[in-house]
Copies of this chain bind each other. A is one copy, B any other.
């Protein structure tokens, strides 16, 4: 295959603005994040994608532990009668459950659901483990694979039949403690999205129609992708006593009285990787925020036979210095590829900074730093390269967040009347704020007439009230959008 064809094959062949969906798929496949597996709807998370997931896991796992939770692991299989024990929950999940009916060549007596979420199996254990107020709060998290038999078209990281996530499941003595837990863990997600993924989010409460099946209420963080559609990044639910009553999870309180526990659950998934792609990517491919980039800096030496040794020595020296600063660096010394090819490949993969060192740079005792997010190049003294790179990583992280924040602000609209909402929603670009009564029939009608769903009642505005944009009854501010 000729070099030119190879480049074309490797690079993204559509513009983001022209065909966002095709652009997205090409970025995922060509940057090596993921691939389609042999079973419809199932993805393979390739090393580059999995390394990002490991960065996500590592940060979130630490916070989960710092906030007093412990990890555990519960079975993949849920007996049908357990899954169906909480009425609302089962209505929400049964249509998309994968069922195991045979073990070896024998038919099972009771078919087994593959967990679409683990409330039911975990709470069947909590019913056995919790006896006294001394056992509370019970604060457990698990990292696991999840299966939901989606029927809509597959979208890698966003809609697949199997995905990876963490799910926290807690039990408390009082509603107040459960409320605090819900808030605390949502705050962890806000912090993660904004400081690590460089994605600004709006946190708030879901409507009755959009809450988790079986929850008392659901809180969420919502982000705006660069095509103007919203994406739910994480949720934290107060389950009230719905599950404790269905699963008989009781404790003896300090006054020797039997009480049902109050519960929460909360989670984020590999969908976060989809959010990063759609928030920051450009026509050249992925753009990774430094905090979650598996490789933060790639050094590409420009190799010619007569100067190779000196150039590689300088490159090695810089690599060591950067590693000493805790920066993850790759030195791409492959001789079978030209520098231009390597530039394209690392840009496609979204590595935040590329350092170029060639014979001319050696002569001038310098190196070139190229930012992935802006494309800007800076020439620096080789002795200062490590320090400058470190500063630049911080600057890129901040700058990517600011850019996403500007986009969110400039794409959040206020609808004054129902016609406004219809028109704005049909433009398909951004969030539309309006007052909304909370009524499910009104919500359904807006979905049909405007093509927009409710995202959340922002915490920042939950004390405001006004007339519902559709029915004129009293309501709260809410955000509408087309959503993934």
Contacts and interface: CB of A to CB of B under 8 A. Distances in A.
A354 to B, nearest CB: 21
Contact of A82 (B38, B47, B70, B149): B38
A125 B29 CA distance: 13
A326 interface: no
A74 interface: yes
Interface stretch (A99-107, A368-376, A426-434, A440-448): A99-107
B79 A38 contact: yes
Chain A's interface size range is 35 or more
Contacts of A95: 104-105
A140 interface: yes
B44 A74 contact: yes
B112 A103 contact: no
Contacts of A54: 71
Contacts of A77: 37, 39, 42, 161-162
Contacts of A50: 70-73
Contacts of A129: 35
A76 interface: yes
A43 interface: yes
A198 to B, nearest CB: 24
Nearest to A39: B77
Contact of A72 (B45, B70, B101): B45
Interface string A83-98: 0000000000011111
A51 interface: yes
Given A104-B95, A104-B151, A125-B37, A47 B72 contact: yes
Contact of A145 (B35, B42, B94, B145): B145
Contacts of A79: 38-39
A37 B73 contact: no
A162 B39 CA distance: 21
Nearest to A149: B103
A340 interface: no
A136 interface: no
A227 B74 CA distance: 29
22 contacts: A35-B125, A37-B74, A38-B78, A38-B125, A39-B78, A39-B112, A44-B72, A44-B74, A45-B73, A47-B70, A50-B70, A50-B73, A75-B162, A95-B104, A96-B104, A97-B103, A97-B104, A98-B100, A98-B103, A99-B103, A104-B151, A144-B145
Q: Which 9 A-B pairs have the closest CB atoms?
A: A103-B149, A47-B70, A42-B75, A45-B73, A99-B102, A37-B75, A101-B101, A39-B77, A50-B72
